[in-house]
Chain A
Amino acid sequence: MAELMSGFGCFTHAMVRAVPQSLARDALRSGGLEVDLLKVQEEYEEYVSVLKHRLGLEVLELPADEALPDCVFVEDAAVVCGDTALVCRPGAQSRRRETEAVKAALTELGLNIVEMTDESATLEGGDVLFTGREFFVGLSKRTNQRGAEILADTFKDYAVSTVPVQDALHLKSFCSMAGPGLIAIGSSEAAQKALKIMQQMSDHRYDKLTLPDDSAANCIYMNLPSKGDVLLHCTPEEFPESAKVFEKLKDHMLIPVTNQEKAKVDGGLTCCSVLINMKKNI
């Protein structure tokens, strides 16, 4: 029986984008750290491999564009929910054109494409947390109110609440979904504050998985047919304490994925893919 809002975490496809050479030098970053391009590429390949081989997703890989140093972070270019894709308008000027290839690819997949034509709107996918029942949109340097409004107009079925984001690039820099109704959240004050706001704004109850490290709270949850609950999360090398927390999730298939190098350019695990469910349940 067809039902709305079912199947949270069910995905069939993943869209990724290769790492451009320019990333090491030109990618935006808040830390000013040197990035080892090779390591980034290794991480990327591991990431794609997990999606493709370990999880059996159909991976759609877009070629890198040297003019877009941040293009590997495709998440920011589009928000896909159900059969609708909202093509974002990144707040960072240098990233605006990343959406072109993404839009083309999504169109190819047959999704309903919604574009943000409003010049005043900015929205990056990294600020969009979809919980399965509603959206939270972080109001950050990259995302503004207008962008959130357009998202709300695009996904009318869902409540869209705004959450101010402080001390972080994106909302999902310190949180993400770790399961149905389970929010992974960092321990920082900013993260906790944001969580509180989200809880207050929501009609639904969420459990929380608190992680010592904010960055570790960015993980990827999927619910796959033959695998059940799957969670891609940080490695023990990177965040030992947080990794321990993840390891307590007994029911999940836990897959640590290295993200050390990309983190230097503010990239989280979720940033590197757009997950899509092409299996129509309606």
Chain B
Amino acid sequence: MTTEVGSDTDVKKEPEKVPEVQQQTDQPDEPADSAASASADQPQEESQSAEAKSDQEASPSPEPSSPPAAGGQKKEKGISRFLPPWLKRQKSQSQDKPDESSAPPKQESVEVVKEEQEETNQPKEEVDGGGAVTTSTEQTEEVKEVREESRAEELQPEEKEREEEKSIGSADTQPVREEKEDESEMEEKEEEKKEEEKKEEGKKEEEKKEEGKKEEEKKEEGKKEEEKKEGKKEEEQVIQQEASVLSTLKVNKKMKMVVCHVTLLDGSQFSCEVEKRAKGQYLFFQVCDHLNLLEKDYFGLSFKDNAEQRCWLDVTKEIKRQIRNSQWQFVFSVKFYPPDPSQLTEDITRYLLCLQLRQDIASGRLPCSFVTHALLGSYTLQGELGDHDPEEHRLDYISDFQFAPNQTKELEEKVVELHKSHRGMTPAQADAQFLENAKKLSMYGVDLHHAKDSEGVDIMLGVCSNGLLIYKDRLRINRFAWPKILKISYKRSNFYIKIRPGEAEQFESTVGFKLPNHRAAKRVWKVCVEHHTFFRLVSPEQPTKTKFLTLGSKFRYSGRTQAQTRQASSLIDRPAPAFQRTSSKRISRSLDGAPVVNVSDYSQADGAGENSPALELNSDSKSQQVEVMERPNADAATSITSETAFETDGAGAPQRKDLDKTQEDVLKHQASISELKRSFMEATPEPRPSQWDKHLTGSPATTLRLQTHGSLEEELTSLFLSKACFSGLAGSCSTAAAPAESAEVKPEGNEVIEVVEETVVIEEVVKAKPKSSTPEASVPVETEVKEERSLSSDSESEDEAEYHAQPPSTSISTQQIKEEPEEEQEAELSQQAPPSAIESQPSAEAADPGPAAEEEKAAQPHEEERTDKPLLTPDEAPNGHAPQGEAPPSPQTAAADEEEPHIVNGSASRVETEHLPQVICCSEPPVVKTEMVTISDTFAAQKTEISTKEVPIVHTETKTITYEAAQLDGNGDGEPGVLMTAQTITSESLCTTTTTHITKTLKGGQSETRIEKRIVITGDSDIDHDQALAQAIKEAKEQHPDMSVTRVVVHKETELAEDED
């Protein structure tokens, strides 16, 4: 936890500061620095222990091999390794400045060490690590810069931002400055400026030279950036950059770098250095840059965990915490298989998808028939080798390709036969054909997971773009389309989906599957959440900033959805990038436009490919491609291993010309492809959200905009949960003595589902709601704030998590349910009360203390919990690895921490309000259903669902979620106590009615103040319920910081349009 907290705060603060710094450009750096340092210090202190831990953990992990040494300056061994590729390049530029580079770096490193020592007390590690690593980089660099950059990247996932950062960094990194103290920085900067100015002139030349010598990828990247930069070069910028660099540097005191090895789709390896604490994003973007890939959202990085299971790297989290002790070894692969590859914008994206599918096919993951193997194989040949050439393509020319898991001579012959028929097809066309056929395969894009059904029968769960498929052996025995799924959750090693009731059914049913272990259950859950979001939603759910939610996994897919990525790619405005096609084992080098190729060339290609683009140019006259002309040049610039073809300074100009020339051709080509696409699209309509929309007959509200509800609920729930955390009770009974209120929900039946303590409930309420002028939904939210209650949380966020799909619901009514299940709940309470008291120590403590002590107590349990059971991020929990520190985070910081679901009371609410979840969902077939969920925070938590069906004409969905914090004293509601005062306040705003009921009672010598707030939010889809709700909660928290929330009930009532799929 601590760690997270720290990092989180960092993140938050940084963004704000950086901009400031930049603005200040010419001004002295002091302010920026101080700010930066301040920000840096705070978090670090908090997370000291955590960091230390993490460091320790990290250190044992084998150091990745040193990056390919480009140059040879070893002065900065330790430092250099920290430098990102682009920085290195830059350095090279500035290499010539001897003094600066040599001296300063050392100092820098020292400084760093010191700081670390102070902060972490583990100086040694750092020093050692830095020294050991080493190697490589030719240029002198500054640690600070590096840090900053990486930091910046983390903070700003956006490409643009990143690029800016990069350019900044590249623009001028002056080693000297960082070392100096704040006071002297100004002077230094000025000096640097001067120097830079002088040197800038020389830079270009230098760069050229260097590049000529070194063809490393890094440099290339650098070139790109440089080019950009050069165009702009301005002193001011430089200054700004410097300033920002400095500030960031201070923020990040740690700069351990690690080399990551990424296996690319063509089988080649890509290595890059990342800061040890870097987030997945950083690495992922590095890889994408290397590949020159813009449509990156379909892809991801995976790694193997300790159990040799393949896990997706969460880009929003630190790499190290995900891989733990595993190697820094990753695989770049397709994560979301686009159902219609023809809608991808760029050929390079399609090509990468082809590479992935070839792997899938060869490995047997994507089964196909003989004919299909042959056909796809033939397109592969056409794409890689160009037209079949009887002279050069003897039968064995394809032996290096693997077209099928079991490749027979017969298959190869068939492949060749078909290959001959593709004459004239360009590589891009061949890829397109390959994909058009591959996408029809039934297992295309299906991510399989072993599981058992409720009867213990072995089955496979297949997650795909449309939903969840259930296989027994090779047979599909069931299928749950996303619209059919209300909720996805996992608990221990079980994975559950709650199914929307069919037309004839009244209640949802929940289907459970048994996964081999907890991690597997979580993995499939995550994959489902991601796929649902990516393919079904228009935009991802905003990560609820709520820090309330301590329980359960907060994991959400935060990347772009398919809809978003399509939109983004429609804006891609660049000439089709040239890229090198390589067959898996040998490097063939037919370029896109140039289907070429001599066999003889291949052999050379492997070794000399990079240097001999010229060979490729020869390629052939047969190809009708116009693009041939342009491609060659681009290729020249690109090394086989290298990511992208961009021009070097020197060579850049000429190449560009070529590109321009061919631009037209490219466009033509693309046009033809787009025609193809169109035809394909017409031929095969994709099941898209749009179709869902169609289903929603007569519901104007189909607008995809809704979603908020789910998050709403989530927040509320989390609210409860967070309180629970305080009390430290794993299981406690719900306190809520809450007087029965008017029941808006009429329970018809109760479903009791066992819920583990750690449950995050995000229900997806999908409904199409007719827009009517009358308020259709009301969202009463009741927040009960009780004094003197401190709750303990059980920190098991991992065991269980639920995810509710978010379809658009227009309105939500939240209501307090207390009374409905009154009897039942009470029963529950009574049963559970005893255990809770016994089990949770913290809660016990909390219970006794008088009001005055409350705050302390609250804090205490918290701490205890932490130490005992550090909150684990979902990833970590299973192994019991708690990298996060144990330092007691202040509530605020804790709340701030996004990644960790951990939360503290007061602060949580604020955070929450800041971020309003906004999700756009596809509309779903509306269902009339009422659901009530009661979650009590008991170790044997239970969830009660009550469906109501009181729906006359208008179909409504009513959902109630109740959270009740553990009640320690057990005299909760049963003992009325003496009523001291009671007061009711009602306030109304636009669509919100807040009723506050305050009662003071004297119970057993303690006075208890209970505040019940009932917030009713009414309105149609235009109303932002979440915001209103969040606001209400926030206010409650702020008004009564000394009170704890014991119960939150969210009741949604939504009108539904009648329909079902």
Contacts and interface: CB of A to CB of B under 8 A. Distances in A.
Interface of A: 1-5, 82-84, 112, 133-134, 137, 145, 148-149, 152-153, 155-162, 200-205, 282
B740 interface: no
17 contacts: A2-B433, A3-B436, A3-B437, A82-B371, A84-B371, A133-B440, A137-B475, A152-B474, A156-B367, A156-B369, A157-B442, A159-B442, A162-B476, A162-B477, A201-B479, A203-B466, A282-B374
A157 to B, nearest CB: 5
B441 A157 contact: yes
B955 to A, nearest CB: 21
B375 interface: yes
Nearest to A158: B442
A160 B437 contact: no
B25 interface: no
Interface in B436-482: 436-437, 440-443, 464, 466, 472-479, 481
B477 A157 contact: no
Given A145-B475, A155-B369, A160-B476, A5 B375 contact: no
Contacts of B401: none
A5 B476 CA distance: 19
Given A2-B375, A83-B371, A162 B433 contact: no
How many of chain B's residues touch chain A, expressed as a range? 20 to 34
A201 B418 contact: no
A137 B472 CA distance: 14
Contacts of B475: 137, 145, 148-149, 152, 160-162
Contacts of A159: 442-443, 476
A134 B484 CA distance: 21
A264 B474 CA distance: 35
B368 interface: yes
B984 interface: no
B372 interface: yes
A152 B440 contact: no
B687 interface: yes
B621 interface: no
Given A1-B433, A157-B440, A159-B442, A201 B478 contact: yes
A203 B464 CA distance: 10
Interface string B234-263: 000000000000000000000000000000
B477 A4 contact: no
Contact of B476 (A4, A155, A156, A161): A161
B433 A203 contact: no
B421 interface: yes
A84, A145, A152 pick with most chain B CB within 10 angstroms: A152
Given A5-B440, A200-B479, A282-B374, A153 B474 contact: yes
Given A145-B475, A149-B473, A157-B441, 12 more contacts: A2-B421, A3-B437, A4-B375, A4-B441, A82-B371, A84-B371, A112-B370, A157-B442, A159-B443, A160-B475, A161-B479, A282-B371
Contact of A282 (B375, B441, B442, B484): B375
Given A82-B369, A157-B442, A2 B418 contact: yes
B1006 interface: no
Nearest to B466: A203
Q: Which 8 A-B pairs have the closest CB atoms?
A: A159-B442, A152-B474, A161-B476, A156-B367, A4-B437, A201-B479, A156-B369, A149-B473
B691 interface: yes
B691 A205 contact: yes
B688 to A, nearest CB: 11
Contacts of B464: 203
A156 B364 CA distance: 11
A4 B369 CA distance: 10
A155 B440 CA distance: 13
Contacts of A145: 472, 475
B371, B372, B685 pick with most chain A CB within 10 angstroms: B371
A68 B471 CA distance: 36
Contacts of A82: 369, 371
A156 B443 CA distance: 9
A5 B444 CA distance: 14
Contacts of A134: 442
B355 to A, nearest CB: 20
B263 to A, nearest CB: 27
B189 to A, nearest CB: 61
B440 A202 contact: no
A158 B476 CA distance: 11
Nearest to B477: A162
A157 B369 contact: yes
B419 to A, nearest CB: 11
A161 B443 CA distance: 13
A204 B691 CA distance: 12
A195 to B, nearest CB: 14
A148 B471 CA distance: 12
Contacts of B369: 82, 84, 155-157
A1, A84, A160 pick with most chain B CB within 10 angstroms: A1
Nearest to B680: A3
Nearest to B691: A205
B682 to A, nearest CB: 14
A200 B502 CA distance: 11
A4 B418 contact: no
Given A3-B436, A4-B437, A157-B441, A201 B371 contact: no
Contacts of A153: 474
Interface string B353-383: 0000000000000011111101100000000
A160 B469 CA distance: 12
Nearest to B467: A203
A108 to B, nearest CB: 20
Interface in B928-954: none
Contacts of B691: 205
